[in-house]
Amino acid sequence: MASEVEYESILCVKPDVIVYRIPPRASNRGYRAADWKLDTPDWTGRLRITAKGKVAYIKLEDKVSGELFAQAPVNEYPGIAVETVSDSSRYFVLRIQDDNGRSAFIGVGFGDRGDSFDFNVALQDHFKWVKQENEIKSSQAADSGPKLDLGFKEGQTITLNIGQGKKRDKPRPQSSGGLGLLPPPPGGKIAPPPSSNHNTVQPSGGAQTECLLELDSSNSNTVVQSNPSSDLWGDFSSSAR
């Protein structure tokens, strides 16, 4: 299968760009545009950003003839191919390369802040698209792998053994009353309930005669023990009989 043909597309065009020769970076603190000779640029022309596949190209061309002055291939952004300066948003550092693979670092700047914003956004949008393309290809590669087949083959059956659950014991009915009857003790006899009518035995004494008379009127079954030595108790027992 023949490889797909990659076409070059134009991402951004800026008619005015300024190029500077910059001194080597002395430390890791980054580039500063104030260190350049901003009043005496080394070259002026136009800038075009193109894309071919996943690689973007920053091309510096002559305004009139369109002749290529230098170009910087960009494989990622932000990265070493395009760096910002620490003291301005209108200036950048490009790593340009020739056909032999030799590279050098130059400074580029824009007179209008809007041009530098468009330059930055064009690179960001391109590599955002590259990231999405890589994610789509990764998901497609994962989906194209062997899938687990859980379907039944022809003539294949399955048997289910459904066992009966244990029977639950029925709850015993409770009596309507609050307290249940206790079983009788083993080998014993049930005592009869106490009688509602008790025989009252009253001790003898002359001081409690009036109380005995009141008890006799309320309960005719009351038996009063009398003292035979007292005539008053003898009259009371004769009348009771």
Write the CB contacts of 38 (distance below 8 Å, at least 6 apart in sequence).
20, 109
**How far is 227 from 207, CA to CA, in rounded Å?**
13
**How far is 85 from 107, CA to CA, in rounded Å?**
9
Rounded mean pLDDT, 5-15: 90
Rounded mean pLDDT, 50-67: 94
C-alpha to C-alpha distances, 105 to 83, 102, 119, nearest whole angstrom: 10, 11, 18
Do 237 and 224 meet the contact criterion of CB atoms below 8 Å apart?
yes
Give the per-residue pLDDT at 3.
52
pLDDT tens per residue across span 20-47: 999 888 777 789 999 999 999 999 999 9
Please tell me the pTM assigned to this model. Answer: 0.57
User: Would you call 51 exposed, middle or buried from its count of C-beta atoms within 10 A (0-12, 13-18, 19+)?
Assistant: buried
Do 90 and 109 meet the contact criterion of CB atoms below 8 Å apart?
yes
pLDDT tens per residue across span 76-115: 998 999 999 999 999 999 999 998 889 999 999 999 999 9
**How far is 119 from 112, CA to CA, in rounded Å?**
11
Return the SS3 of 97.
strand
Angle between helix axes 209-218 and 231-240 (nearest 10 degrees) is 0
Give the per-residue pLDDT at 193.
61
C-alpha to C-alpha distances, 237 to 5, 211, 225, 229, 231, nearest whole angstrom: 143, 15, 9, 13, 10
Per-residue exposure over 172-201, b if at least 16 CB sit within 10 Å of its own CB, e if not = eeeeeeeeeeeeeeeeeeeeeeeeeeeeee
Write the CB contacts of 97 (distance below 8 Å, at least 6 apart in sequence).
71, 72, 73, 103
Q: How many CB atoms lie within 10 A of CB 115?
A: 18
Give the per-residue pLDDT at 156.
78
